[in-house]
Amino acid sequence: MEKSEKIAIIHHWDSDGIASSTIITNMLKRKEFFFYIPKIGVYNIESIDINRLRDLSPSTILILDYGISTKELSKLKDILDVNIAIIDHHVNNIVDNITLCNPIAFGYSGSSYPSTTWVIKELLRVEDLDDIIALGLLGDLGKSIISHKLNEWILKICQKHNLALSELFEAVNIIDSCYKLIDEDCINYARNTLIKQGVKGVLNNEFLKNKFETLKMVVDYALKNVDLIKDYGVIKLFELSNDYYITSHIGREIAYHFKNNVIILKHFIQKLNLTYIYVRSYKYRLRNILEKLRHEGLHVGGKDYVFVVTCNNNCYEELDLILKVLMKHLGGYS
């Protein structure tokens, strides 16, 4: 990357992805670069406008926190004939032709690298912008930070920057409101605000705060209307009908209330014409299940305790397969 003339930064649309791009921007001050956001909610090569990237002629594509498989990215590399480097913490495979900075792909525990900002801090030895690192960390850990080994570190960073933990949570929620409302312009605006004005700039930005207020109304309505479809004991299946990309938000809230279970949330989003099957647990490690489902050909991405399957239909076959694999590994009853 040192010799690259132009770098395309493709980053995930959530707070960890945006925070990671902010840190990398600071590291690439003397380089020419531009940002590209993949199609919201899509985790394959179809999320990327290949013709647009070709016209911009990057020498290197740097992918941050975006859990697309290396198999898909190998296709992108072959089409564009460019260097591809990844900094990430999602479960993935190692391939020869892509530079991969991802401890999870090399067998390390997700609890040791819970966000891409933390991977950047630890592996690239970044010591400044620790409030931005904390933002990405909190964005991925959510409420589970309370019991995480990095809780004390985050509290120290908050104190250093005169921030309450609740304010850092609020900054995460404000930034994440952009993608949950499926608003790409808002994502770009949030990233630029974070780059130029930092966490406090995000907290004081009226445009972004108004987005968050809109999202709160959407989420409140969704939480009242999410349905428990079937109880399999350890495994509990929920369904949501809502036209915003709040799958992970609602899934995380449900999982937090069922900490000793595995929750499955099936969510169809008409705006995206996609169905998501979100699986999370605070107790059971799901990495082997994720890898098994990927081996079976499903479009699945995730981490040790959460994964998402994406499909273009009602997902009946995909859901049956997920339940079958979960039952085999965890038990339950029908």
Categorize the per-residue pLDDT at 334 as very low, low, confident or very high, splitting at 50, 70 and 90.
Answer: very low
- Across the range 260-274, mean pLDDT stands at 94
Please report the pLDDT score of residue 314 as a whole number. 83
Q: What are residue 309's DSSP bridge partners?
A: 277, 300
pLDDT tens digits along 271-326: 899 999 999 999 999 999 999 998 998 889 898 999 999 998 889 999 999 999 99
Categorize the per-residue pLDDT at 182 as very low, low, confident or very high, splitting at 50, 70 and 90.
Answer: very high
Residue 46: Cβ-neighbour burial (10 angstroms; 0-12, 13-18, 19+): exposed
Confidence check: pLDDT of 156 > 80 = yes
Can you say whether the dihedral through the CA atoms of 295, 297, 303, 306 is positive or negative?
negative
Mean pLDDT of the chain, nearest integer: 93
Is the pTM above the cut of 0.75? yes
- Across the range 125-150, mean pLDDT stands at 94
The class level of CATH for 226-330 reads: alpha beta
Confidence check: pLDDT of 135 > 80 = yes
**Range 6-206 classified under CATH 3.90.1640.30:** yes
Please report the pLDDT score of residue 285 as a whole number. 93
pLDDT tens digits along 29-67: 767 899 999 999 988 888 999 999 999 999 999 999 998
Confidence check: pLDDT of 333 > 70 = no
Confidence check: pLDDT of 4 > 60 = no
Confidence check: pLDDT of 1 > 80 = no
Extents of the domains making up the chain: 6-206, 226-330
Question: ∠218-224-228 over CA atoms, to 5°?
Answer: 125
Query: Percentage of the chain surpassing pLDDT 70?
Result: 97
Interaxial angle between packed helices 15-27 and 184-203, expressed in degrees from 0 to 180 and rounded to the nearest 10: 80
Categorize the per-residue pLDDT at 241 as very low, low, confident or very high, splitting at 50, 70 and 90.
Answer: confident
Categorize the per-residue pLDDT at 97 as very low, low, confident or very high, splitting at 50, 70 and 90.
Answer: confident
Closest CA relative to residue 212, chosen from 161, 175, 259, 266 = 175
Rounded alpha-carbon distances, angstroms, from residue 70 to 73, 74, 224: 5, 6, 38
Alpha-carbon distance of 15 to 74, in angstroms, equals 26
Alpha-carbon distance of 20 to 80, in angstroms, equals 24
Adjacency order of strands within the sheet including 262-269 = 227-232, 235-241, 262-269, 274-281, 306-311, 300-302
* Number of Cβ atoms within 10 Å of the Cβ of 120: 25
Please report the pLDDT score of residue 331 as a whole number. 65
pLDDT tens digits along 192-208: 999 999 999 999 999 99
Confidence check: pLDDT of 3 > 90 = no
Q: What are residue 269's DSSP bridge partners?
A: 274
Q: What are residue 198's DSSP bridge partners?
A: none
